[in-house]
Structure 1
């Protein structure tokens, strides 16, 4: 039955186009995710500067994410995504050119980071809103499984390749620019080229809302307010988004800043260490994605209970991560935590997509994404500043213990604990 369902998903031409273009683009994205923090550290040697660059992306993302969700609900999400990814492609191409020519400097990095943050504020809610328009509700779970599996596979392969590409800069003769400039420019260039696959596939996809935009009343800001009210009225969804926001603020930043600093200052393979760490985590998430259906069956649909227990264990793993000195020890640890995290993702996203109406999908997903994509880099800026006063092991220990404390404390909340299972209040309604 599972094979038949997945076969019907791949029989959808629009889905095949979306899946193919997203696969190449997601792999390319990993090159920038590794190269950008490495570039900042090579230019400045300052973790606080890395935190500020991540915050520069977060500021426009945080301001415009909810507006982006409202725009997606009023227009064709395909056209919004096409425009946003086109801007992203130009910015990454410019970054590659500046690094190659040795003209890159921190003011330019901050400006490009601001532009990337603004474009992704529209890209993320648009990409999350396309799938429910392409697929029947019963096909969302297998479609999400394929797309998230592809993304996790890109996280498994991409960072390792990116680390190896960047590492070539250590042996190239470069007279201008930062250390590893040759490899960094090549990494950004690969990501820029990968956007062509995504843009090409999006041009061939057709959605009903392309020619029949939704009839809307009121301003974009009024639509944003309506979306916030809708999520707030859904008690389980509200509780989950608030939980994700708390975890992201206290834990996301230390991880974003801590991993590049760990690879640069304590591990043995330089940029390759960062790629291996991210690859190990992505590979673990691939395995976790395959196990997610079995895990949900074991917990009998109580996805909230599963997420809270997993986060409690992952927090202890972060404490341990701060003590490692060898790349492969850190990779083994991150692979394990990746398995645990991957087990919950597909079921949670499918639960949200099935719960929310299409008319509210863009705004709902923008609220969810705001909690970790908007707050995460702000947290990273604070974490970068903290590293001036505390050690890296102390940063990881504080983040890990905070995660475990939040997760274990929320186990007492019956709404969060029961996400994914029918609640008495819902049954009564």
Structure 2
């Protein structure tokens, strides 16, 4: 990673985007916990799954379409409009819950609308970094993004717990709406430094097909997206469920699960901080494959950990290695992608990391129930090993460096 005259962490424009992104993730967490709490109070635990699925399914199904919208109308404009809609929807939900006793179907409607809008917002806000900073700074930006996510994961649940205790679900929805408003106001101050000319307009379906073909034909993006999908398959939600089941199986209790999860977050934050302040990142592709091997080994070892302290150590290791992998792969994707396709490519990678996680949750419980938590974590390790093998077998990934893209042709040649 070449040294820039102004590092990303000193760029005011990047810091504005980061503030908006951090507020958005924090608001998401507060909203999600408020929605789950309200569903539990109204319909009991059996209704929570229905409400959460009402938001998760449209987000996953429409994520690729959200990328088309971001590329067609510009990621900044789409991010601003969708963020405003999210703010209005959540504040309206707060008013409805405050004025009348909420029903399950009201919560389903809120989750459904929010999921649809989220499918547009996420690809748009994720496609902004290449348009607000230089290519050689993208790794730093992704490192800063990783730090902001860890901060949000710490602050969001705490804020939700406080407002739920004081004002109930209505207070929590209001707090989420206020945080989304902060995200919106900050996002309005972000300035785009580069705006590629839009090609001749075609139908949305044609643009979606063009984006998928662009990924499939690109010599780096095609295998890299597969690596991202495999590496994130177990670490975008299913592992959190696996940690709960592992702690229960070994008798470590909720506190033990908390220690392992905290160690994972600390490790991920440490790797993000290291990349943020680093002045060089030689052989980024090869280093990424190496950290995938480390994640595979750590996952298997975690499943066989004989005691809680050892499990905490392996949780820290997995956080370090998987955090590095996520940051580097995100930077490589944004460096290599033609700006015209950035929203669609971002939607594909976001779908791999977040959109498909709900589909895998049932497999976690079934695997642990039939064969034990150690088998589940061994399976996670095998999937990460497969991702590392794929990365090492593709020379363009193995030799990838982080810097300005050499070509912007659809084939990456």
Give the structure-1-normalised TM-score: 0.76
> For structure 1, which runs of at least 5 residues remain unmatched after alignment?
173-181
Checking the alignment, whether the CA contact within 8 Å between 1:30 and 1:162 is kept in structure 2 is no
Aligned position for 2:337: 356
Checking the alignment, whether the CA contact within 8 Å between 2:140 and 2:275 is kept in structure 1 is no
> Out of 299, 302, 324, which is 1:315 matched to?
299
> Out of 111, 115, 118, which is 2:116 matched to?
118
Corresponding position: 1:405 with 2:389: no
Displacement of 1:371 after TM fit? 1.6
Checking the alignment, whether the CA contact within 8 Å between 1:245 and 1:375 is kept in structure 2 is no
Displacement of 1:411 after TM fit? 4.2
Aligned position for 1:200: 185
Q: Residues 240, 222 of structure 1: CA spacing in aligned structure 2 closer, same or farther, 3 A cutoff?
A: same
Checking the alignment, whether the CA contact within 8 Å between 1:76 and 1:213 is kept in structure 2 is no
Displacement of 1:237 after TM fit? 2.1
SS in 1 for 2:53: helix
How far apart, in 1, do the equivalents of 2:53 and 2:236 lie? Answer: 12
SS in 1 for 2:397: coil
Q: Which structure 2 residues correspond to residues 193-342 of structure 1 after superposition, within 5 A?
A: 193-207=178-192, 214-246=198-230, 252=236, 254-255=238-239, 257=241, 280-292=263-275, 301-316=285-300, 319=303, 334-342=315-323
Q: Residues 292, 420 of structure 1: CA spacing in aligned structure 2 closer, same or farther, 3 A cutoff?
A: farther
Q: Deviations over 1:277-320 (max 9, x none)?
A: 765543331112134487x9587641441242133134326636
Checking the alignment, whether the CA contact within 8 Å between 2:27 and 2:176 is kept in structure 1 is yes
Displacement of 1:8 after TM fit? 4.9
> Out of 144, 160, 165, which is 2:162 matched to?
165
SS in 2 for 1:85: helix
How far apart, in 1, do the equivalents of 2:37 and 2:243 lie? Answer: 11
Q: Residues 109, 347 of structure 1: CA spacing in aligned structure 2 closer, same or farther, 3 A cutoff?
A: same
Aligned position for 1:419: 397
Displacement of 1:246 after TM fit? 4.4
Displacement of 1:9 after TM fit? 3.5
When the two chains are superposed, the root-mean-square deviation of aligned CA atoms in Å is 4.3
How far apart, in 2, do the equivalents of 1:36 and 1:262 lie? Answer: 27
Paired positions, count: 402
- Bigger shift: residues 233-242 or 101-110: 101-110
Q: Residues 88, 19 of structure 1: CA spacing in aligned structure 2 closer, same or farther, 3 A cutoff?
A: same
Aligned position for 1:32: 31
Displacement of 1:356 after TM fit? 1.0
Q: Residues 252, 276 of structure 1: CA spacing in aligned structure 2 closer, same or farther, 3 A cutoff?
A: same
Displacement of 1:86 after TM fit? 1.6
Displacement of 1:229 after TM fit? 0.7
Q: Residues 233, 114 of structure 1: CA spacing in aligned structure 2 closer, same or farther, 3 A cutoff?
A: same
Q: Residues 311, 337 of structure 1: CA spacing in aligned structure 2 closer, same or farther, 3 A cutoff?
A: closer
Checking the alignment, whether the CA contact within 8 Å between 2:231 and 2:292 is kept in structure 1 is no
How far apart, in 1, do the equivalents of 2:261 and 2:34 lie? Answer: 12
Checking the alignment, whether the CA contact within 8 Å between 1:254 and 1:399 is kept in structure 2 is no
Q: Deviations over 1:118-160 (max 9, x none)?
A: 111111111122221111222323333333322222224433x
Corresponding position: 1:346 with 2:327: yes
Checking the alignment, whether the CA contact within 8 Å between 1:227 and 1:363 is kept in structure 2 is yes
Q: Residues 56, 246 of structure 1: CA spacing in aligned structure 2 closer, same or farther, 3 A cutoff?
A: farther
Displacement of 1:208 after TM fit? 6.5
Q: Deviations over 1:180-211 (max 9, x none)?
A: xx55544433222111111112223343688x
How far apart, in 2, do the equivalents of 1:127 and 1:257 lie? Answer: 28
Aligned position for 1:84: 82
Q: Residues 352, 59 of structure 1: CA spacing in aligned structure 2 closer, same or farther, 3 A cutoff?
A: same
Q: Residues 408, 258 of structure 1: CA spacing in aligned structure 2 closer, same or farther, 3 A cutoff?
A: closer
How far apart, in 2, do the equivalents of 1:116 and 1:340 lie? Answer: 32
Give the structure-2-normalised TM-score: 0.78
How far apart, in 2, do the equivalents of 1:184 and 1:332 lie? Answer: 37
Displacement of 1:218 after TM fit? 1.3
Q: Residues 74, 132 of structure 1: CA spacing in aligned structure 2 closer, same or farther, 3 A cutoff?
A: same
